[in-house]
Every structure is written in C-alpha cells, then in structure tokens.
Structure 1
Amino acid sequence: MNIVFVLFDNVTQLDFSGPVQFLSRLPGAKTHVVSKDGRPVITDCGFSILPTASFADCPQADIICVPGGHGVREAIGDTAIVEFVREQAKAAQWITSVCTGSFILGAAGLLQGKKATTHWAYTQLLPLFGAMHEQARVVRDGNLVTAGGVTSGIDFALELIAMAQGEAVARTIQLALEYDPAPPFDGGHPSRTAQPLVDGLKARVYDKAADDMKAAICATLAAT
C-alpha cells in the first residue's frame, strides 16, 4: 500500500508528522513524502523536511494525504501541485486531507458535492469549492476523508487505519504509540472555549488569515 503525503512550503508540520507517524505503521504500507521538485520544504516551525521523491518519481497512491498550513494559499494556485493531486486521486483508494489541506483537494475539484471539514476558523470557506461542512473532527464521504485542524490528523489517521485494515490494527497502533490524550484544558474547539478567548484569537490571527485564504481561493477559481 503506497501512502503519499504531498508537501509544500509553509506546511504545518504537525498536519503531516502526526498522521505519518501512525499511517507508516500500517502493515504492508510504504510511505512516500513528495514535493513538486523533491527538494526540502520549509515548515511553519522554521525547519525543513526532506521529501523522499518528486512528483515525477512518485508511484500511484493508494492513500493520498494533503496537509494544510499557511502555504495552502500559494499551493492552490500552483498548477503542478493541484494537477498532481487531481491525477493521483483518480486511482487512489482513499483521498484525504488534514486541516486546510482540504482546500487543495477543493482546487483539484475533489470536494464538489461532498461533506468535508477543515480547521474551525476556515469552515465557512468550504462551500466555495462546492462542499458541505460537517462539524466533526473527522468526516468521511465515500472515499474522501477530511480532518479538522492540526491535531485532528492523529484521530484521522487512526480512523483511516480502522477503515483500511480493521479496528484491531488501529487499536494496536494506538497502543504502540501510547496515544492516550488527556489535555490539561478542555478548550481545543470554539464550542468548548470561553468566547472571549475565541474572539481574541480570531481578532489577532484568524479573521485576517481566513480573509487571505478566501481571496486566494477566489483568485484560483477565477483563473480556472
């Protein structure tokens, strides 16, 4: 089973590193980390990731996963990235994304008429690609599986493992990696966070970020 992760500059590293840590444990799986030219990509944490292949060298994916990050704004306008995802998706068993990586799937025409999710600050933009937002940490619609923001990628990976090879395999990998979350605070989603904290974070970061993402999506759609 070939698992392909599509990377680009300014990717959110945990969108990638969380799922790849779990999915790489799938029995019989081979992980391919690819960028357009095979060169290192810079992450949002300031360090780089060295891919295993370029688009040209990548085999056909059984599972294709697209992480998110601020770099999505540029990636959805990059014809090479969008075309690679579109072509790989044609024969992939599972088409997946984490966080705002869903918008790259959208740019490739893979969200039309589908239920999907993304980071909570951007869910209102999913209909621009013809998708219907479903409020859940992981959303499945046929062979399309999308995850919410960042850490949702770990839950997504376990759900996908269960879909692909059964719950026993997923539970074994969860145990091996000691995924037993017990966060110190109940507030990782706006629905469980005091409104002043939500409003403050949106005002400082996400109102502008969502506006910038919307502008990038509209520009991409106008160009197609």
Structure 2
Amino acid sequence: MTQQRRDFLRQMALAGLAGSAAVTAPAAEAPKADATLTHDMTAFPPEWLGKEQIAMLIYPDFTALDMVGPHYMFTSLWGAKVNLVAASREPVRSDAGLVFTPNLTLEEAPSDLDILFVPGGSTGTLKAMQDARLIAWVADRARRAKLVASVCTGAMILGQAGLLRGKRATTHWATHSLLKDFGAQAVDERVVWDGSLVTGAGVSAGLDLGLSVVGRLRDKPYAQGVQLLAEYAPTPPYQAGTPKTAPSEVHQLMGSMFNGLVADMRLTAKSALGA
C-alpha cells in the first residue's frame, strides 16, 4: 500500500492540487528507491519532497493502534524515513498480541530527528516509565528533535522524561489528571500543539495527530490527499467515544479499570520529579 500511496501523491501533484504554483514548479529529484517509477514528475511541487528522519518508539505491551495510525500518516510523507525503534531488534509484542519487528535499536537510531514519536499503553507504558535507559534515550533524542509527539498514555513517557513541564498537553481520558503531576497544563482536546510538542488523546486520536503533522510538514492539499486515500471519514456506530458523550455508567465502569494503573503512574511521576 505504501507504493500505491506514493503513486497517488504523484497523481495529486499532476492534477494541480498544490495550487497554480505547482504547474510551473521545477521538477524535484525523486528518491533513488523510486527510480523504477515512470510517472511524469515535471509538475511535482518541490516543497512536497522532504527528507525527515522519524523515529517511532515501540516497547513491550504498547498499544498497537497508538502507533499504527500515525505510522500510516508519517509514511505518506514523501521522502521521509520512518523507523521503528526499540531496545533491541527482537520482535516486540503489543498489548493485544500483534508483533512488530523494529529496524533500529535505541543506539542505532539517528541522534538528530525531525520527529520523535511515543505511543502509549497500560502496564507496558508503566514499565517503560520505570525504564531508566529508555527514558534517558527519549530525553536525549527530544533535546534535538524538531518535533516531539505522543498519543494516548505515551504522554506519560514524555512526562517522565521531563518534556511536559510548562507545556499544554493531552492524553487518554483515564490518565488526563496525571498531566499536572508532570507540570503540564492539561487540555481537553483531541490533538494539542505547544511549540514543537504535539500530543494526542486516546488511541484513535493518533490518526488525527498524524494527519495534523502531515499538514504542518507539507500543506493542506497534501494532507487532504492523504486523508482521502485513507478514506478517513469516521462515522462511529455509537456516540460514546469521550467521557462527555458516553453514558455515565459506561464511563464509570471503564474508568474503574484504570484506578490501580493511575495510582502507580502517579507514584512513578513523583519519583521523576523528585517529590
């Protein structure tokens, strides 16, 4: 599907979706990996071709959709290099049993990143918060990254690395109250930008975050094309996707599942802040 998406984006350029400037723009050099393609690139807007270095952290028992949604969007960035990074190159099992194979270790990941992305989870995220080596790596790469992003409880990992202090941020509703423990200003929005930091709410919000990043790094027509190709036009069968719209009894039942996790994360946050 990745190759088809790239072909589609080329067709977008040929159709003039980047605006009238695209018609007279000089041709951009295509990456060598795509040298076998025969599309006419004379109208391809040069600003659509990037060279971003993107590291998407994965760790045992992370939530797959936290990462997969943004991954789809990031791999639609023409010219970008997207890496799955983990403690080792051994396969990593998500909390629901999906297995992913990282292509870089923490040490092998580029030192200077355009995007550092961190997904969330539950007990797996708590363990990641308590992993000194992983947290040190996140803090190190974030210092030089042009953009730091998280989805769901991935914000807890960013907080543990000291990256949320004084920042506007969001996370999964179940851990939203923990943001202040990391010195952040909690914002009840699906995607929250604060300078070079962008955080997404729970799980499926990663699709919105990823698309928002695509729009920032390219332009609106490019992002619209990616959205169209994904046919991302959600019409859920139930209106219970947030605490505000879910029946109160459903909210209370689901929330009770996280009481222990939230307490443990709060203790971990206090240790990070020296409290």
Q: Secondary structure at the match of 2:176?
A: helix
**2: distance between equivalents of 1:168 and 1:134?**
28
Output one character per residue of 1:124-156: Cα deviation in whole Å (capped at 9) or x when no partner. Answer: 001111101011000000010000000000000
1:176 and 2:229 correspond: yes
**1: distance between equivalents of 2:202 and 2:262?**
14
**2: distance between equivalents of 1:57 and 1:177?**
31
Q: Which residue matches 1:209? A: 261
**2: distance between equivalents of 1:217 and 1:76?**
8
> What displacement does 1:103 show?
1.1
Q: Which residue matches 2:88? A: 37
Q: Which residue matches 1:128? A: 181
Q: Which residue matches 1:17? A: 68
Q: TM-score under structure 1 normalisation?
A: 0.95
Q: More relative contact order in 1 or in 2 (CA 8 Å, sep 6+)? A: 1
**1: distance between equivalents of 2:196 and 2:268?**
27
CA contact (8 A) 1:34 1:54 kept: yes
1:88 and 2:141 correspond: yes
Output one character per residue of 1:62-111: Cα deviation in whole Å (capped at 9) or x when no partner. Answer: 11100000211111111211111111112211111000001111111111
Output one character per residue of 1:30-53: Cα deviation in whole Å (capped at 9) or x when no partner. Answer: 101000122221101113211011
Q: Secondary structure at the match of 1:118?
A: coil
The equivalences for 1:108-123 within 5 A come to 108-123=161-176
Q: Secondary structure at the match of 1:11?
A: coil
**1: distance between equivalents of 2:113 and 2:84?**
11
Which 5+ residue runs of structure 2 have no aligned equivalent?
1-51
RMSD over aligned CA atoms reads 1.3
**2: distance between equivalents of 1:128 and 1:113?**
11
> What displacement does 1:172 show?
0.6
**2: distance between equivalents of 1:3 and 1:83?**
18
Over the matched positions of the two proteins, sequence identity in percent amounts to: 36
Q: Which residue matches 1:61? A: 113
Q: Which residue matches 1:200? A: 253
Which 5+ residue runs of structure 1 have no aligned equivalent?
none
**2: distance between equivalents of 1:141 and 1:201?**
29
Q: Which residue matches 1:140? A: 193
Q: Secondary structure at the match of 1:191?
A: coil
AA in 2 matched with 1:65: F
> What displacement does 1:199 show?
1.0
Q: Which residue matches 1:3? A: 54
Q: Secondary structure at the match of 2:261?
A: helix
CA contact (8 A) 1:82 1:107 kept: yes
CA pair 38-221 structure 1, distance change in 2 beyond 3 A: farther
AA in 2 matched with 1:142: G
**1: distance between equivalents of 2:195 and 2:274?**
28
> What displacement does 1:170 show?
0.8
CA contact (8 A) 2:64 2:98 kept: no
CA contact (8 A) 1:76 1:220 kept: no
Q: TM-score under structure 2 normalisation?
A: 0.78
When the two structures are aligned, how many residues end up with a matched partner? 222
**2: distance between equivalents of 1:23 and 1:40?**
21
> What displacement does 1:212 show?
2.6
**2: distance between equivalents of 1:134 and 1:26?**
28
CA contact (8 A) 1:15 1:68 kept: yes
CA contact (8 A) 1:73 1:217 kept: no
